[in-house]
């Protein structure tokens, strides 16, 4: 029976002398006299194999990254990875790796360029530090879903082929669909709102979203995983902000609990959860002043990436938190369905985390007549919002937000490029592997 590397030491203590089988990849080979020490890597960690001249099988000519099966007796060894080793009786090479590797899996990831990592994505994931990114990301998704279920949210799955956009002008990827043109969904926005109106009240989705924006920066992807939330019967965006604080607190707590080894590989720390709960809410105009973006001569400024970094620096310095919410965005920066606070401001927000916007959200307009009245200001007509016709039959006040999964992963681990947090990133230049 196969035993994982992480369980060898305990198995040795529980049943000393028992013959065990391990399977995995050859991570490192070191010869010392007539003994060969092989570090085997499996999904759980590393194990030292002690291969002698008496070992039967395929020890000769073994190459790095070959897939092997080793059978032997474990022994405790404080100097070995995990505190134990396997003294091998027989070694079988299941799949021999070519001697010329794209790069060294057991080397320093900092010396591997991001393009090489992405060109050889499946191979690069054999590196424990790179693979750690996606173990953390898996916990993020699991914790996101678990927390919302605990708050009586229902998970939904919506179509990614749509007849038009819901974001009021963002570019769309066109798709040939039989004899029609359709588009890849920018977000599940309209579907989330419809599901609230349907009576589900609280819904969430984990799914890809697509943006045909011609960015080429370390913070943008054209396909990303969106963690979407929508909630009915709210009074303002502040209800959503409180929900997100609780949600992020749970995510950070679970990542710390489940992924301490992965965090250590990146020298990363999760935020202080008490500070997250106290994250400040800064109105947009005040945020401009804090970031030095005010407009004394009447010019219109936006919160650009540098301003986001400055605001997070301020929040950490003045409030002791990695998170800050920017509220009351002007209507000119928000889609037509955003609920107005007054003639100029909206009940909307962005969440900035460690220098980067990870969330956009807000209360939505639930009154169909009011939606129609807003359309001309955005160059839209009633034909453009066919999906909202169910609102004619009664829709509760509601709102929601979306968290960029890759961006959140990036900022937890301190990655330099969001593409590192995408298994198979898609941008203006990359459509493979």
- Mapping DSSP onto H, E and C, the string for 6-17 reads HHHHHHHHHCCC
What is the model's pLDDT at position 288? 92
What is the model's pLDDT at position 149? 98
Q: Are 355 and 303 in contact (CB under 8 A)?
A: no
Q: Are strands 174-177 and 180-184 parallel, antiparallel or unpaired?
A: antiparallel
Homologous superfamily of 5-95: Nucleic acid-binding proteins (2.40.50.140)
Burial label for 430, CB within 10 Å (0-12, 13-18, 19+), is middle
Give me the residue spans of the domains in the chain: 5-95, 119-421
**What are 182's two structure tokens?**
């359709």
**Does the domain at residues 119-421 carry the CATH identifier 3.30.70.1170?**
no
What is the model's pLDDT at position 46? 97
Distance CA 1, CA 22 (A): 8
**What are 84's two structure tokens?**
């134990």
Q: Where are the beta strands (DSSP E) in 167-210?
A: 174-177, 180-184, 202-210
The answer to whether 5-95 and 119-421 have equal CATH topology is: no
Mean pLDDT per 10-residue section of the chain, whose length is 433 residues? 95 94 97 92 97 88 95 95 96 95 90 93 96 98 98 98 70 93 94 96 98 90 97 98 98 98 97 95 94 65 88 96 97 93 96 98 96 91 89 96 98 97 95 93
């Amino acid at each position: 029976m196969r035993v994982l590397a992480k369980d060898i030491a305990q198995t040795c203590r529980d049943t000393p002398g028992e013959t065990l089988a391990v399977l995995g990849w050859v991570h490192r080979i070191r010869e010392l006299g007539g003994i060969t020490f092989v570090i085997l890597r499996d999904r759980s960690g590393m194990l030292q194999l002690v291969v002698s001249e008496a070992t039967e099988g395929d020890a000769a000519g073994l190459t790095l990254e070959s897939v092997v099966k080793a059978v032997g007796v474990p022994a405790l060894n404080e100097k070995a990875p995990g505190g134990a080793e396997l003294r091998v009786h027989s070694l079988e090479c299941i799949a021999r790796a070519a001697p010329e590797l794209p790069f060294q899996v057991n080397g320093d990831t900092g010396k591997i360029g991001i393009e090489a990592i992405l060109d050889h994505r499946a191979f690069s994931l054999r590196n424990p530090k790179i693979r750690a990114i996606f173990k953390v990301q898996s916990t993020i998704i699991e914790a996101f879903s678990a927390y919302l279920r605990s708050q009586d949210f229902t998970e939904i799955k919506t179509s990614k082929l749509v007849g038009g956009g819901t974001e009021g002008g963002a570019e769309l990827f066109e798709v040939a669909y039989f004899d029609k043109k359709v588009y890849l969904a920018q977000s599940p926005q309209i579907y989330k709102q419809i599901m609230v109106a349907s009576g589900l009240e609280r819904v969430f989705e984990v799914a890809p979203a697509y943006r045909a924006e011609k960015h080429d920066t370390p913070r943008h992807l054209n396909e990303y995983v969106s963690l979407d939330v929508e909630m009915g019967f709210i009074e303002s965006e502040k209800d959503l902000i409180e929900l997100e604080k609780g949600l992020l607190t749970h995510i950070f707590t679970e990542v710390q609990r489940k992924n301490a080894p992965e965090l250590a590989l990146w020298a990363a720390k999760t935020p202080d959860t008490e500070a997250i709960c106290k994250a400040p809410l800064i109105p947009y105009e005040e945020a401009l002043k804090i970031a030095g973006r005010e407009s004394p001569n009447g010019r219109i400024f936006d919160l650009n990436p540098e301003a986001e970094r400055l605001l997070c620096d301020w929040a950490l310095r003045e409030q002791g938190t990695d998170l800050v919410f920017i509220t009351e965005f002007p209507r000119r920066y928000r889609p037509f369905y955003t609920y107005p606070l007054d003639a100029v401001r909206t009940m909307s927000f962005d969440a900035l985390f460690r220098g980067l916007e990870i969330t956009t959200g807000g209360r939505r307009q639930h009154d169909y007549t009011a939606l129609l009245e807003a359309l001309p200001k955005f160059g839209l007509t009633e034909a453009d919002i066919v999906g909202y016709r169910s609102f004619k039959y009664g829709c509760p006040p509601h709102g929601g937000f979306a968290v960029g999964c890759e961006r959140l992963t990036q900022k937890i681990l301190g990655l330099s490029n969001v593409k590192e947090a995408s298994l198979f990133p898609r941008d203006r230049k990359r459509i493979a592997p």
